[in-house]
Amino acid sequence: MEIRTITIRVNAEVARIFEAASDEQRRKLEALLSLKLTDATRSKRPLEEVMSEISQNAQARGLTPEILDSIHHQW
């Protein structure tokens, strides 16, 4: 699969959290965002269903609520 870089606008807090994250945490967040964008643009399912599936996939790949919470609490 080809990987490309895009630029998206986020609020300042999200940017600070992402910038403060470790390389591993950033890769996991990027994977989560990629999954969400893919599902959101291709799916006709309700948003809640898409978000639940993305969460399950992220957890299966090692992104836990604790990791997200630790990133958030760094600020």
Q: Render each residue's pLDDT in the chain as its tens digit; 75 residues.
A: 788 999 999 888 889 999 999 999 999 999 888 988 887 777 677 778 877 887 788 788 887 777 777 766 665
What is the per-residue pLDDT across 46-63, written as a single tens digit (0 to 9) for each? 778 877 887 788 788 887
Q: What are phi and psi of 37, to 5 degrees?
A: -65, -40
pLDDT for position 22: 93
Q: How high is the pLDDT of residue 6?
A: 92
